[in-house]
Amino acid sequence: MPFLASRRRKPPPLSGAFFAPSDLSDFSLIRALAIVSADILSSHRFPRRDDLFLQRRNSRSLLWKIEILLSFFESLLDSSSRLPSPVLLCLKELYILIHRCKMLMDYCALCGRIWLLLLNPLVSGRFHDLNLEISTLLDVLPIEELDLNPDVRDQMRFLWRRCGNSKLYIDADDEFLRLTVFSFLREFENGCAPDRSELQMVLVDRLGIRDARACQSEIEFLEDQINVHEEDADPAVLTGVAALFRYSRFLLFGFDVLRSRESNIVRGFRRSESNADAGEVTLVIPKDFCCPISLELMRDPVIISTGQTYDRASISQWMDEGHPTCPNSGQALVHTVLTPNQALRSWISQWCAEHGVPYDSPESYEASMPCYSRAAIEANKATVSMLLKQLLNGSLDAQTIAVRELRLLAKTGKENRACIAELGGIPLLKPLLCSSNAVIQVNSVTTILNLSIHDKNKVVIMEEQGCLNSIVWVLRHGLTNESRENAAATLFSLSAMHEYKKRIAFEAGAVEALACLLKDGSARGKRDAVMALFNLSTHSECAERMAEFGAVSALIGALGNEMVAEDAAGALALLVRRPALAHAVGKDDRAVSSLIGLMRRGTPRGKENAVAALQEMCRKGGASMTQKVARLPSLGGLVQSLMLTGTKRARRKAASLARMCHKCELAAAAAALGGVDYSLSRSGSLSVSMAISVPVL
């Protein structure tokens, strides 16, 4: 699934490291101080009416202090006397302090109002700390030794006394608002939705959030803080507040107010389809970096016993739910040890750094996973109920907004996925799959994809009459590449359950459409298609169906694409267990040469799948197939290399292939000479006796 790169402004931290410039002259240092002070005042002295709802008194008090300091700096600039060394030291400390003042003022102006409200006591404490630091510096500043304007000297003395007597100030109105927000969360925890008029008082009247766009911006800011694991706030509280204000957004502002925004999304969406600049910046995560279970960027990739890689959180949950098999291959798990995939983690980290995507260490990621409190769950349920009503009875614009929000909710948290399905979302999403509106279609199919990650929802989707048929319809006739790709990914997700593989394979057009996507789709589409076909190939009754509708041919062609080659080889290794398919694949010279190439240049898993496919072809294809493979000039060296350096399964398959080829060659040699009798001794070595008939002359 595409990743939307964040274009929102990130606030500076509340504290930071600054160093006083060591290469500036006296005059240059004072001038730099004056410039920074003037910049703070020009940016924050006359805010627009709606700009400063929180920390008003603390902000105005700090601006007043900076204004006095600016007068002090300007007076020093007018003086011609040389500054003593203690004054220069104080000015360097003031340089650091002024920058910290600027950072705090910018923080209050740029960060979300809800976020600032939640941190009200902490931010108030930061203002108080600055007051104390100003007082400390003025204590040691030898003002009497400076050639200053008398009025400026008096102002500095007054400032010193005021800062020395300052006390922590927490605005009572701001604190009342913060506690009111927490009371709303408690109401949701108790199973009751907050009163609409009280929500309007907090959001609209007191915080000045007067439309849906502003409310959505606030929610997105909160979610950013959840993702970066801001240490100053409890993630469980943040998820609850984000859910509360998402509910409030639709309750207070309805569904038709973002019409222009949704129109922009449609236009940007169409531009991205034509490979032009999209209205929103879209960053596609490499498929190999996504967990096959959650379909999201892996934060802690680990390898399981079958050699497959998953995100630790996803595969741990899979195992905790009692599944004894690998989600991708269906193979039984020999053990449950999770081995960190250090190389892949390093590649993901580098890619994230290059594209500006936050990427934490596994330890911090485990700690930063969203914790859904009961308040968040109940608030999201209330929001989902409103969204589903719009899907049922809303206008086209309202449906567009509602299905997009459902997609976002279903993207994170199994609680949200379970909630949407339990409240009847899947039957309402099904008719939207065939919508003539491209945005509605892609969001509806992606929502179902996200819902299908939860195993219980797989059952609901498959049992909903006509839902599978509609997903296949999107795969075949989707209005956009993204729709078709996500339909293929949905089939892959659903086919993880063994009992549904045959049903998907026998759904009219499903296999054929997956084969077409594997042949002609985008890089991501090919990946989705090959994974779905791989899952289907693990069911013994799907083989003939896949051969009949071109899947086998498509898989052979995919062997030449290194991005999907190893999964294509894995699927073929399963399909050629049928003798007819073993002969069909073996006759295709592309298949054999591509498998040999994969054994030479592929990943460890790719080599494993390639040798497994060749071994199965020889085992089921008989002597003629084995002889064809055995006579490949490079086979011997590759098999020997795999027997020494390959994975455990690769070594086993390579040894089996070597034995079959050896027997075949011996049989061929004996036939040429008149006969051969070969058998394995009890020690396991191959003993051969030849019977040669000599003609009588």
Q: What is the pLDDT of residues 108-117, one digit of tens each?
A: 888 889 999 9
Can you give 64-101 as a three-state secondary structure string?
HHHHHHHHHHHHHHHCCCCCCHHHHHHHHHHHHHHHHH
> Does the structure show a pLDDT above 80 at 361?
no
If you average pLDDT over residues 385-389, what whole number do you get? 95
Q: What is the DSSP letter of 679?
A: E
**Weakest mean pLDDT among 162-166, 263-267, 606-610:** 263-267
Mean pLDDT of 227-236: 67
- pLDDT score, position 59: 92
Residues in the chain: 697
- What pLDDT does 265 receive? 43
**Does residue 678 carry a pLDDT above 50?**
no
SS3 310: strand
Please answer whether residues 445 and 454 qualify as being in contact, where contact means their C-beta atoms are separated by less than 8 angstroms: no
Q: Do 72 and 156 touch, CB atoms closer than 8 A?
A: yes
Can you give the pLDDT at residue 372? Answer: 65
pLDDT at 260: 40
Mean pLDDT of 13-26: 58
**Whole-number pLDDT of residue 14:** 53
The answer to whether 348 and 311 have CB atoms below 8 angstroms apart is no
Q: Are 189 and 249 in contact (CB under 8 A)?
A: no
Query: Cα-flanking dihedrals φ and ψ of residue 527, to 5°?
Result: -65, -45
Question: pLDDT by residue (tens digit) across 441-461?
Answer: 999 999 999 999 888 999 999
pLDDT at 644 over 50: yes
Mean pLDDT of 201-218: 89
Residues 6+ apart with CB under 8 A from 84: 142, 145
pLDDT of residue 264: 44
Distance between CA atoms of 467 and 458, rounded to whole angstroms? Answer: 11
Using the predicted structure, report yes or no on whether residue 256 has a pLDDT greater than 70: no
Nearest of 533, 544, 427, 548 to residue 488 by alpha carbon: 533
Given a contact cutoff of 8 angstroms between Cβ atoms, the answer to whether 489 and 528 are in contact is: yes
Secondary structure class of 506 (helix, strand, coil): coil
Residue 62: CB partners within 8 Å, gap ≥ 6? 101, 104, 105, 127, 130, 131
pLDDT above 90 as % of the chain: 38
Instruction: Give 283's strand partners.
Output: 3
Look at 121-130, 343-352, 530-539, 656-665 and tell me which has the smallest mean pLDDT.
Answer: 343-352
Longest dimension (CA), the chain: 136
Give the pLDDT band of residue 478 (cuts 50, 70, 90): very high
Residue appearing with tokens 């001794």: 681
Q: What does the block give as tokens for 198?
A: 């009280």
Most confident of 440-454, 599-613, 633-647: 440-454
Whole-model pTM above 0.95? no
Per-residue model confidence (pLDDT) at position 199: 93
Q: Give the mean pLDDT of 28-50.
A: 81
Interatomic CA distance for residues 5 and 678, integer angstroms: 65
Of the ranges 331-340, 457-466, 558-567, the best mean pLDDT one: 457-466
Instruction: Give the residue from 138, 101, 77, 136 showing the smallest Cα distance to 15.
Output: 101
Q: At what angle do helices 481-494 and 455-463 cross, to 10 degrees?
A: 110
Among 74-88, 368-382, 494-508, 592-606, name the one with the lowest average pLDDT. Answer: 368-382
pLDDT above 60 (res 51): no
pLDDT confidence bin for 323, thresholds 50/70/90:
confident
